[in-house]
Structures are given as C-alpha cells and as structure tokens.
Structure 1
Amino acid sequence: MLIPLTRKTFEELIPAVATSDQYRYAWGKLSDFLKRVLISAVCASVWIIIEIAVESDSIKSVLLILGLITILYWFWGPVVEASLRNLQCRKYPYCGFWQGKVLDYYITEEVTSEQESVNKKGDLIIIENLERRINVEVGDSKGFTTSIQAPLNRSHKKLHRGQVAQLIVMSYLEDLSRISQVSDLYIPSQNLWVSNYPYLRRDAFVDVSRWVRSQRDTRRRSQTSVDR
C-alpha cells in the first residue's frame, strides 16, 4: 500500500529544525562531544586574541556576538548536523506513506571506525571497531522491497517475519514510481522503530499511521454495507 502525502504533512514529519531525538543522535559519543569542546576552545582562544588586537568598539561588539556563537559550538553543533540531514530529505518534492510486511531480518557486523596502532614488533596494524547491526528487509505485493539497517538492540527481539511494516518513501516523481530514499521503519503492532538515524517526528508519523488505518476501516465497513 502506498498513499501520497501532502507537502505540508511531509514537512511536519521531517521538520527543518532538528527534533529532540535527532539532537540526541547527533550529540554522539563522548569522543564526539570532546571534539566539539576542543573546537570551541580553539575558537575561544582565537576570539580572545582578536578581541585584544582590535580597538574599534563597533567591531568589538560584532566580535563579541561571533565569539559567543563559536564558543557555544559544542552545544549547537548537533542541531546543525541533524538539520542538514533533514534538509537532505526535504529536497525531495514528493513523499508517500508506505505499508508492507517484514520479509526477513538478519544480523551483520559492520566496521564503524578504524584505528592505527603498533604491535610489539613495531609493525603498523589497523584495528577495526565492529558493531552488530540488524538488517530488516520489507516489501509489498507490488514488488517494492527495501532494507533498513540499524544498531542492534534488545527491542529487535520483537521482530518477526510477516509483521506489518510502515515507513515514508521519498521521490522526485509525483506518482512515486521511483523511490529515491526511505525513512526509519515502524512496526505498529509492537510500537517498534528500526532506524540508524531518526528521520521522522515519530509522534506525527504515528498519527498518520492511525489516520490511514481509520480510513481503511471506514472503507471496509462501507463496502460491507454495500455487499449486504
């Protein structure tokens, strides 16, 4: 099942500014936070040097504003990162609500980062950091299939083949005949999300999911009344 959605609904599902879930994702690990703090510290040092060198009060006022913005990079950096991800989705002019079923799922190990080290013999070695990931294949009766990958967690034990699966599809074509990107995956029966990055405003998507279900139930009741 594929139902086209209006642009207004699309922009509610994927807002221009990062949601709280997206901000938490972009915040990253401790190492990511420390990198942002280091950048903020460097910016603060540069700002102080320029502030001392400049004598004009008007320029100092501008520098003060710019300095405060750059010093707080550790805080607003994730907002910009997540918002740019959202813009990559919002560039598609058309989207639709897709519903199919879970065809299969399996676990893989993916390389998340590499580190260089030296062994006892002095040889340079590459250490790969692996992460276990769940891969979920979904499809519908019309032949459309896609795969969603996400870091493995305990909630994925709720996954079963044949479960109803929902997501948002994005396209450059009005009839959605060619899908360019898909969102995170939702399993309504388990209230389960499968995603690497939380593209959707999840409360808004659940509302759309309920609306679609209510419309289908209404049509079924109408059809039943006609048949009688």
Structure 2
Amino acid sequence: MTPTIATIMNHRSVRHFTEQAITAANLEQILNCALAASTSSFIQCSSIIRVSSSDSREKLAQFAGGQPYVASAAEFLVFCADFNRHRQIHPDAQLGFTEQTLIGAVDTALMGQNALLAAESLGLGGVFIGGIRNNPQQVSELLDLPQHVLPLFGLCIGYPAREPEQKPRLPLNIVLHQDKYQALDFEEVAAYDQHILEYYAARSSNSKQVTWSQQITATLSKESRPFMKEFLQRQGFSEK
C-alpha cells in the first residue's frame, strides 16, 4: 500500500481540534494541492475564501446549524463555484446555464477533496461543512460574494484532539456495477445495515441505534433546503 492510498483509506471526519496553529508553509501546500485538481475545459471556476476573523467564524458556525468546530478549527476555508472572475475578464460571457452549475460544483468538490487529502497527509484532520448552505444568503452577505459566486461548502482543518472511529462505507460490490446498471442486492444492504448498527453501538461518542437504510429513509422523506433553487438563480446559476 502506498502512502497516498494509506492516507485515503485512513480518512475520517475530525470535529475536535487542538489549539495548535497550522504553519504558513503547510497551509500553502494544502492550498496549492487544491489548485492542482482537475478542471473541466481548463475553466478554473472555483475560489477559496480563507476565513480568519473570529467574529465571522462564529457567525458561520451559527449559519451552518450551530457547528462549533467552524469557529474552533485552526483554519476554515469556504469553497465556492465562481464565474464572476470570468465575467470580469469577458463581460459578455454567457452564464447562468445549468451545465455551468454542475461544472462549478464538480470542479470545486475536486479542489476540496485535494485540500483535505493534503491536510491529512501532513498529520492534520478536517471535516467538510455542507451546513453553510443552510443559510446561503447570509453566508454570501458575510463573505461579500457577488453574483455568479456560489458558496458550496466549508472545510475545517486542524490538528486532531481525538481520533474518531472510521465510519464504514458501502461495500464495493454494492457501489460497483459491471458494464451496465445492476439491481440492488438487498441481502448485501441488510448485512451493511447490521454493520452500521454495530458501529453506532460501539463508537466512543454519539452512539445510537439506526441503520443506514433508516437514515436515508428519514433524510429522503422530505425536501432539503427548499430555498436553494431560488438562491441559485438569484446568484446567476441554473437560470436556464
């Protein structure tokens, strides 16, 4: 197993951090790794906002649904899809297409994953914060985001104060399809549900009794963030 694969396979979301700062050199390496991610058609339609203000961090923690580690992590980065830069270069740029929204989301997610993997390779830990989309308008106003910039997720990075258990993922034989899409094997799902039950019962904090199937049933039984379509269009995304 290579060191890169070992880093990837050891991933876990870290939400408790020490007070140790990240050196400027390490932060620069993390950010440069983010920039090295693949980009569709070389459009490079992502921006990263490093939030250092303690006041802004506290507000973002609340906007994200009361997640205190947004404020306490050594670094907090907000990853945005950004076509405003292109509009400044080319004022007549044709923007607002749904495909551009997809490109922006994909490219920005690749940058975020690169950043977290780089951080983990340096002995740091982190967690992605999709909760900033709970209040996207307030986040945009706080960060002074213009039209054609979309805040997608945040990333907390710091030195882990504890190492949480690794949450089991779906097994490969459920996720991988050969040549064509294949029917779901419910026996495999049942085995995975049992694995998740055992994981939640045994983990050191926030134990609970719920299967993965029960979790997704609860999550997908209602609309999440129903305001998002209106916000996207207000920011100049997915208008057509």
Query: Structure 2 length normalisation: TM-score?
Result: 0.22
**More strand by percentage:** 1
Higher relative contact order (CA 8 A, sep 6+): 2
TM-score by length of 1: 0.23
Which protein shows a greater Rg?
A: 1
